[in-house]
């Protein structure tokens, strides 16, 4: 079994680290991950023979690693392979983060808990659903998402947050909807997966996000609902009022009524 644990470094399920459950586990250190080296990853192998072969494939199909350990007197090509090694520079960047793995983990936990606490009221009012923490899982706080009522709300909120310079994103298109999958295995209907994918909005979360930025995001999300919950008549009233105050200085100047009226922005 090959376990795709791309985002799961330092996360556990039933006491076992993700990536260590299958015969082979794969981690990603792409720059969107909790621990990053720009591009790159790691394979965790639970079988000695497979591990020996992986070492050769990683080194362009040679037994160079054995040579460096002094186990053979020269190295040669013994299998297929390619240059799968990360550069020392990239590895050093990652190593610095792995040395601080728990402090990075705790930082992300604080961001995650702040979002969860700050947005709890909206969940209580049934406007959205927050991520669920499973009893037997230890999360690594890779992402924080909102599950919204429908995809219109998701895109509307995304657009609204963007006007404040807040980057929220929708999640991946489900794999069974990818062109490759559909060409290989045919179209499938998975309504729950598609429903969640359509309604899910991810909020900013990264190792350098400050708590004041997190609180700013929370404030704007709450504002979004304060406004969208207003009855239509109140919204129309507000719109007319705002338009009136914006246009007032302009019309007054044209008529020569109020001179040098300040722009009410
Ligand atoms: C579930 C999953 N698998 C694999 C990958 C690919 O990782 P990489 O870009 O390091 O190859 C990703 C990337 O985000 C992922 O989310």
Q: Residue 259: its pLDDT value, please?
A: 39
pLDDT average, residue stretch 183-197: 95
Nearest-atom index, ligand 1, CA of 172: 16
- Nearest residue (by CA) to ligand 1, atom 8, is 28
Instruction: Decide if 249 contacts 264 (C-beta within 8 A).
Output: yes
Nearest-atom index, ligand 1, CA of 4: 3
Rounded distance between C-alpha atoms, residue 265 and residue 181, angstroms: 51
Query: Average per-residue pLDDT in the chain?
Result: 90
What global pTM score does this model have?
0.84
C-alpha angle 176-178-179 in degrees, rounded to nearest 5: 125
Domains in the chain and their CATH numbers? Answer: 2-98 (3.40.640.10), 101-250 (3.90.1150.10)
Q: Residue 85: its pLDDT value, please?
A: 92
- Nearest residue (by CA) to ligand 1, atom 2, is 6
Task: Please state the φ and ψ torsions of residue 15, each to the nearest 5 degrees.
Answer: 80, -5
Burial class (CB in 10 A: 0-12, 13-18, 19+), 45: middle
Q: Which of 5, 11, 26, 28 for a ligand 1 pocket mutation test, highest count of atoms within 8 Å of Cβ?
A: 28
Task: Please state the φ and ψ torsions of residue 62, each to the nearest 5 degrees.
Answer: -105, 165
- Nearest residue (by CA) to ligand 1, atom 12, is 6
pLDDT in tens, 20-75: 999 999 999 999 999 999 999 999 999 999 999 999 999 999 999 999 999 999 99
- Least Cα distance to 146 among 136, 135, 159, 132 occurs for 132
Interhelix angle 151-162/211-228, rounded to 10 degrees, is 120
Higher pLDDT, 109 or 261: 109
Cβ 7 under 6 angstroms from ligand 1: yes
Give the distance (Å) from ligand 1 centre to CA of residue 27: 8
Give the distance (Å) from ligand 1 centre to CA of residue 172: 11
Which residue, chain included where needed, has tokens 């207003």?
A: 230
Percent of the chain with pLDDT over 70: 87
Give the distance (Å) from ligand 1 centre to CA of residue 30: 8
Cβ 28 under 6 angstroms from ligand 1: yes
pLDDT average, residue stretch 156-174: 96
Q: Residue 256: its pLDDT value, please?
A: 39
Q: Residue 257: its pLDDT value, please?
A: 36
Beta strands in the chain (DSSP E): 2-4, 12-13, 16-17, 24-28, 41-45, 128-129, 137-138, 144-148, 169-170, 200-203
Higher pLDDT, 62 or 249: 62
Task: State the pairing for strand pair 2-4/41-45.
Answer: unpaired
Higher pLDDT, 13 or 256: 13
Rounded distance between C-alpha atoms, residue 154 and residue 165, angstroms: 17
Percent of the chain with pLDDT over 90: 83
CA distances from 252 to 8, 241, 261 (A): 62, 16, 8
Give the distance (Å) from ligand 1 centre to CA of residue 240: 49
Cβ neighbours for 85, distance < 8 A, ≥ 6 positions apart: 58, 59
pLDDT in tens, 98-120: 999 999 999 999 999 999 999 99
Cβ 41 under 6 angstroms from ligand 1: yes
Q: Residue 172: its pLDDT value, please?
A: 87
Compute how many other C-beta atoms are within 10 angstroms of the C-beta atom of residue 21. Answer: 15
Q: Residue 11: its pLDDT value, please?
A: 97
Rounded distance between C-alpha atoms, residue 211 and residue 181, angstroms: 40
Rounded distance between C-alpha atoms, residue 251 and residue 99, angstroms: 64
Nearest-atom index, ligand 1, CA of 28: 10
Cβ 4 under 6 angstroms from ligand 1: yes
Q: Which of 7, 26, 35 for a ligand 1 pocket mutation test, highest count of atoms within 8 Å of Cβ?
A: 7
What is the radius of gyration, based on Cα positions, of the chain?
26
- Nearest residue (by CA) to ligand 1, atom 10, is 28
Q: Residue 228: its pLDDT value, please?
A: 78
Instruction: Decide if 176 contacts 193 (C-beta within 8 A).
Output: yes
pLDDT in tens, 176-187: 999 999 999 999
């Amino acid at each position: 079994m090959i376990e795709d644990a791309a985002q799961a470094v330092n996360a556990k399920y039933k006491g076992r680290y993700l990536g260590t459950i299958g015969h082979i586990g794969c981690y990603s250190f792409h720059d969107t991950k909790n621990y990053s080296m720009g591009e790159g990853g790691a394979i965790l192998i639970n079988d000695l023979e497979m591990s020996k072969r992986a070492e050769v494939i990683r080194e362009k199909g040679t037994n160079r690693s054995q040579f460096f350990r002094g186990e053979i007197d020269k190295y040669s090509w013994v299998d297929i392979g390619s240059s799968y090694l990360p550069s020392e520079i990239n590895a050093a960047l990652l190593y610095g983060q792995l040395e601080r793995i728990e402090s990075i983990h705790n930082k992300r936990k604080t961001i995650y808990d702040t979002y969860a606490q700050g947005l709890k009221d909206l969940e209580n009012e049934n406007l959205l659903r927050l991520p669920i923490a499973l009893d037997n899982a230890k999360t690594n706080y890779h992402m924080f998402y909102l599950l919204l009522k429908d995809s219109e709300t998701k895109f509307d909120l995304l657009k609204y947050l963007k006007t404040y310079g807040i980057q929220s994103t929708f999640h991946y298109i489900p794999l069974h909807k990818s062109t490759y999958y559909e060409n290989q295995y045919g179209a499938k209907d998975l309504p729950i997966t598609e429903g969640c994918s359509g309604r899910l909005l991810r909020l900013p979360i990264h190792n350098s996000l400050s708590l004041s930025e997190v609180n700013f995001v929370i404030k704007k999300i709450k504002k979004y609902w304060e406004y969208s919950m207003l009855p239509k008549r109140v919204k129309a009233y507000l719109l007319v009022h705002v338009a009136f105050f914006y246009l007032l200085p302009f019309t007054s100047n044209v008529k020569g009524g109020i001179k040098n009226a300040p722009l009410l922005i």
